[in-house]
Structure 1
Amino acid sequence: MTRSCPLPLIDITGLSSGDRDVRLAVARALDEACIESGFVYIRGAQFDRRLFDRLLAAARRYFAQDEAGKMACYIGGSVNHSGYVPVGEEQFGGGTSDLKEAFDVNNDYHHAEGRRPLLGPNLWPDLPGFQSDVLAYYRHVAAIGRSLFDAFALALGLDERHFAPHLRHPPNQLRLIHYPLAAGTEDRPGIGAHTDYECFTLLFATSPGLQVLRHDGSWIDVPLIPDTMVMNIGDMMELLSNGRYVATTHRVKKVAEERYSFPFFFTCDYDHVIAPLVPGRGERRYTPVRCGEHLFNQTAQTFAYLKRRRAAGDLVLADALPLDSFGARPPVPVAR
Structure 2
Amino acid sequence: MSIPMVDFGACSLSEEEVGDEQKMHALGKQLESTFTGVGFVCLKNTGITQEEVNAVMAVSKTFFLQPEEEKKPFSRKSFADNPNHGWVQLETERTNRACPADLKESFNVTLIRPDIEWPSGAVEGFQEIQTTFFRRCKELSLRVLRVMALSLGLDPQVFLSAHRFIGAEGNNSTLRSLYYPPVNRETVKEDQVRCGEHSDYSSITLLFSTSEGLQVQRRSGEFMDVPYVPGTVLINIADIMQRWTSDRFVSVVHRVLLPPAGDSSTRQSLAFLLQPDDEALITCCDGSNRYPPITGGDYLAERFSRTY
Does TM-score exceed 0.5, indicating one fold?
yes
143-152 vs 6-15, which moves further: 6-15
From the superposition, tell whether residues 18 and 204 of structure 1 become closer, same or farther in structure 2 (CA, over 3 Å).
closer
Question: Displacement of 1:273 after TM fit?
Answer: 0.9
Report if aligned partners of 1:82, 1:122 keep a CA contact under 8 Å in 2. no
Q: Which amino acid aligns with 1:44?
A: N
In the alignment, structure 1 residue 125 sits paired with structure 2 residue 115: no
Report if aligned partners of 1:43, 1:229 keep a CA contact under 8 Å in 2. yes
Map Cα deviations across residues 227-259 of structure 1 (whole Å, 9 max, x no partner). 111111101110111100111111111134210
The aligned residue for residue 94 of structure 2 is 91
CA distance in 1, matches of 2:117, 2:252: 31
The aligned residue for residue 168 of structure 1 is 164
The aligned residue for residue 192 of structure 1 is 196
The aligned residue for residue 44 of structure 2 is 43
The DSSP-based 3-state class of the residue aligned with 2:74 is coil
Map Cα deviations across residues 164-203 of structure 1 (whole Å, 9 max, x no partner). 3222103210101100120227563101111100111000
Q: Which amino acid aligns with 1:105?
A: V
In the alignment, structure 1 residue 151 sits paired with structure 2 residue 147: yes
In the alignment, structure 1 residue 288 sits paired with structure 2 residue 288: no
In the alignment, structure 1 residue 273 sits paired with structure 2 residue 273: no
The aligned residue for residue 34 of structure 1 is 35
From the superposition, tell whether residues 18 and 87 of structure 1 become closer, same or farther in structure 2 (CA, over 3 Å).
closer
Question: Displacement of 1:45 after TM fit?
Answer: 4.4
Report if aligned partners of 1:83, 1:124 keep a CA contact under 8 Å in 2. no
Report if aligned partners of 1:150, 1:162 keep a CA contact under 8 Å in 2. no
In the alignment, structure 1 residue 11 sits paired with structure 2 residue 7: yes
CA distance in 2, matches of 1:18, 1:40: 19
TM-score relative to the length of structure 2: 0.87
Q: Which amino acid aligns with 1:128?
A: E
Match of 1:302 among 287, 301, 307: 307
- Superposed counterparts of 1:205-220, under 5 Å: 205-220=209-224
How well do the aligned residues superpose, as a CA RMSD in angstroms?
1.9
Aligned length: 286
Is there any run of 5+ residues in structure 2 with no aligned partner, and where?
Answer: 13-17, 167-171
The aligned residue for residue 85 of structure 2 is 82
Report if aligned partners of 2:93, 2:101 keep a CA contact under 8 Å in 1. yes
In the alignment, structure 1 residue 20 sits paired with structure 2 residue 21: yes
The DSSP-based 3-state class of the residue aligned with 2:158 is coil
Question: Displacement of 1:279 after TM fit?
Answer: 5.9
Report if aligned partners of 2:27, 2:147 keep a CA contact under 8 Å in 1. yes
From the superposition, tell whether residues 45 and 77 of structure 1 become closer, same or farther in structure 2 (CA, over 3 Å).
closer
The DSSP-based 3-state class of the residue aligned with 2:87 is strand
160-169 vs 72-81, which moves further: 160-169
The aligned residue for residue 134 of structure 1 is 130
CA distance in 1, matches of 2:268, 2:19: 36
Question: Displacement of 1:107 after TM fit?
Answer: 3.4
TM-score relative to the length of structure 1: 0.80
Match of 1:239 among 229, 240, 243: 243
Identity of aligned residues (%): 30
The aligned residue for residue 314 of structure 1 is none
Report if aligned partners of 1:201, 1:263 keep a CA contact under 8 Å in 2. yes
The aligned residue for residue 64 of structure 1 is 65
Report if aligned partners of 2:39, 2:249 keep a CA contact under 8 Å in 1. yes
The aligned residue for residue 73 of structure 1 is 74
CA distance in 2, matches of 1:123, 1:244: 41
From the superposition, tell whether residues 42 and 132 of structure 1 become closer, same or farther in structure 2 (CA, over 3 Å).
same
From the superposition, tell whether residues 68 and 179 of structure 1 become closer, same or farther in structure 2 (CA, over 3 Å).
same
Report if aligned partners of 1:156, 1:278 keep a CA contact under 8 Å in 2. no
The DSSP-based 3-state class of the residue aligned with 2:268 is strand
Question: Displacement of 1:162 after TM fit?
Answer: 3.1
